[in-house]
């Protein structure tokens, strides 16, 4: 596992109200240990929110070393990370999940936009971890912020760039 995986935010991203909305909107499912949850050939675009247990994400070329290990409150799904990639999601322990299929996700997005944005943000973070395993999502975001601040400093510090009298 990469260093970035160990540094993931361990505090709960979802509160009790969030879980109540998710349980009303999605289907609760259970999977036993060592079962495939998602395979590259799956055409579904489901989103899964882990209530209990652990799920590992593997690349087809290396089913020994996980790219990411997800636990309670983590989000995964075909929506962003599994499209056009040879990735698998396999349960490490017995898991309890909430599954939102494409139709349920659209309805959920309209009913609870703030919570849907939270889920989408988590999917994006996971995509960053998988696409750039050498970086953590936090370090990537800090690099973006730093670059933006440098750009602001450069552009605001040069008065009269085109006017020699300013």
Q: What is the band of 8 on the pLDDT scale with cuts at 50, 70, 90?
A: very low
Contacts 24+ apart (CB under 8 A), 84-87: 85/40, 85/59, 85/130, 86/40, 86/59, 86/60, 86/61, 87/38, 87/40, 87/57, 87/58, 87/59, 87/60, 87/130
Q: Measured between alpha carbons, how far is 35 from 162 in angstroms, rounded to an integer?
A: 64
DSSP state of 92: S
pLDDT in tens, 34-53: 999 988 777 778 899 999 99
- Residue 3 within a domain: no
- Residue 81 within a domain: yes
pLDDT for the residue 20: 95
Q: What is the mean pLDDT of residues 122-140?
A: 72
Q: What is the band of 149 on the pLDDT scale with cuts at 50, 70, 90?
A: low
Nearest to 56 by CA among 44, 69, 71, 40: 69
pTM across the whole model: 0.71
- Residue 1 within a domain: no
What percentage of the chain exceeds 70 in pLDDT?
A: 69
- Residue 160 within a domain: no
DSSP letters, 116-154, are HHHHHHHHHHHHHHHH-TTS-HHHHHHHHHHHHHHHHHH
- Residue 79 within a domain: yes
More reliable by pLDDT, 91 or 79: 91
More reliable by pLDDT, 157 or 1: 157
Range of the domain at 31: 9-155
Task: Give me the CATH number covering residue 139.
Answer: 2.60.120.10
- Residue 165 within a domain: no
- Count of structural domains, the chain: 1
- Residue 69 within a domain: yes
- Residue 2 within a domain: no
């Amino acid at each position: 596992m990469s260093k970035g995986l160990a540094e993931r935010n361990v505090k709960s991203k979802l509160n009790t109200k969030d879980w109540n909305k998710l349980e009303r909107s999605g289907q609760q499912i259970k999977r036993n240990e060592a079962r495939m949850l998602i395979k590259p050939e799956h055409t579904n675009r489901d989103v899964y929110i882990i209530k209990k247990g652990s799920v590992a994400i593997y690349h087809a070329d290396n089913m020994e070393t996980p790219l990411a290990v997800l636990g309670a409150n983590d989000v995964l799904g075909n929506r962003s990370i599994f499209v056009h990639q040879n990735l698998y999601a396999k349960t490490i322990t017995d898991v309890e999940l909430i599954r939102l299929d494409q139709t349920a996700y659209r309805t959920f997005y309209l009913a609870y936009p703030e919570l849907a944005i939270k889920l989408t943000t988590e999917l994006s973070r996971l995509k960053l971890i998988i696409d750039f395993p050498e970086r953590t999502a936090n370090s990537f975001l800090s690099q973006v912020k730093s670059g933006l601040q440098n750009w602001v400093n450069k552009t605001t510090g040069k008065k009269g760039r085109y006017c020699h009298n300013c």
